Amino acid sequence: MSALTLEEIRSAHRRIAGHVHRTPVLTSRRLDELCGATLFFKCENLQKTGSFKARGALNAVLSLDEAGVRAGVVTHSSGNHAAALSWAAARRGAAATVVMPRTTSAFKQAAVRRYGGRIVLCEPNHKAREETAERIRAESGAELIHPFNDLRVMAGQGTAALELLEDVPDLDAVVGPCGGGGLLSSTAIVAKTLHPAIRVMAGEPAGAADTIQSLAAGIRQPVVQPASVADGLLAFVGDLTFPEIQRRVDRIAPVSEAEIIGAMRLILEVMKIAVEPSGCVGYAAVAGGRLELRGRRVGIILSGGNVDLDAAVWKA
């Protein structure tokens, strides 16, 4: 099994440069005071398609040869990767088919269609998603681009941390969310290779804490029925991402639903930017004191800003 390297992430950064935003790093004195640390927010909520997923999807699509472009791409995703891959494929004139659970919100389906993707609905479980995507791949010859368990995607995701550490090189820790592990594993590769002493940490929804559970067991262990308002983090950690997390990540903390919603609302009220629940989970772990970072300089990746305004989760 191949391992991702810093040089491959640097290559991905060169490949996608000019196509995606170099998102800003914002600060807030008020949020610093509330958690007792100096925070630097890498705002991937302001990225193309509204999340860091644009980086990985685009790197994968730009890595295709011309035959691959003609064959098109397929994936399974209920959210940000679905929109990002549809957008990335359109940039090369490739067809994109996205397998989505039939329970996916109209808000998320509309984003895929807006970027030109074709949606195939399936039953709302991982098995159905994977089997449907595989059937489409076999029948059409389209390239399967997994939402996180793909080295091309992982390399693209790691470019967010690369930029963060270029802009703020003297961080004590980098914190992000943990779902399937694509962003967290590649962030850890970048951070630990450039600065071996830096701490790499994450928040994970308590109701979908398969990575925490897997680290304790020493082997990947799924949560049977994961549930969280941070629905972008319900994926089961990948067999490519998990070994990197095992080797390089210092701590992953569980965060409650109330902490996630509170973090989302606080960022909106104080920083005046919209961050979706999944994008707030790293900050929620820091703000809740779950990562013991008082007095430290901390980079936090706000991973997405695709807020479904009809959901109004902060009223829950």
248-271 pLDDT tens trace: 999 999 999 999 999 999 999 999
Helix (H) or strand (E) holding 39: strand 38-43
- Residues 229, 297, single domain; the answer is yes
- Residues 208, 181, single domain; the answer is yes
Domain count, the chain: 2
Residue 107's Cβ-count burial label (10 Å; 0-12, 13-18, 19+) is: middle
- Choose one of 99, 126, 144: the last residue of a domain: 144
Domain assignment present for residue 162? The answer is: yes
**Locus of tokens 């060169």:** 14
- Choose one of 111, 126, 144: the last residue of a domain: 144
pLDDT digits (tens, 9 = 90+) for 202-220: 999 999 999 999 999 999 9
d(CA 222, CA 292): 27
- Residues 187, 117, single domain; the answer is no
- Residues 59, 179, single domain; the answer is no
Asked if 60 contacts 150 with a C-beta cutoff of 8 angstroms, the reply is: yes
- Residues 281, 231, single domain; the answer is yes
d(CA 49, CA 163): 18
- Residues 73, 86, single domain; the answer is yes
Q: What is the mean pLDDT of residues 12-36?
A: 97
Q: pLDDT-based confidence at 195, cuts 50/70/90?
A: very high
Domain assignment present for residue 1? The answer is: no
Domain assignment present for residue 231? The answer is: yes
Closest CA to 148 of 214, 74, 236: 236
Which pTM value belongs to this model?
0.95
- Residues 36, 58, single domain; the answer is no
Q: pLDDT-based confidence at 315, cuts 50/70/90?
A: low
Which ranges of the chain would DSSP assign to H, the alpha helix?
A: 6-16, 29-35, 53-62, 66-71, 80-91, 106-114, 126-140, 151-167, 182-194, 210-217, 241-248, 257-271, 277-287
Written as six digits, the tokens of 37 are 């640390």
Which residues neighbour 33 within 8 Å (Cβ) at sequence distance 6 or greater? none
Q: Which residues are catalytic?
A: 53, 303
Question: Looking at the predicted structure, is the pLDDT value of residue 314 above 60?
Answer: no
- Choose one of 126, 144, 162: the last residue of a domain: 144
Domain range for 125 is 54-144
d(CA 170, CA 74): 40
Written as six digits, the tokens of 234 are 């319900």
Predicted pLDDT at 224: 87
- CATH value at residue 280: 3.40.50.1100
- Residues 164, 212, single domain; the answer is yes
- Residues 171, 227, single domain; the answer is yes
Q: What is the mean pLDDT of residues 49-59?
A: 98
- Residues 20, 164, single domain; the answer is yes
Which residues neighbour 280 within 8 Å (Cβ) at sequence distance 6 or greater? 230, 260, 263, 264, 267, 302
Helix (H) or strand (E) holding 297: strand 297-302
Helix (H) or strand (E) holding 96: strand 96-101
- Residues 122, 169, single domain; the answer is no
- Residues 191, 264, single domain; the answer is yes
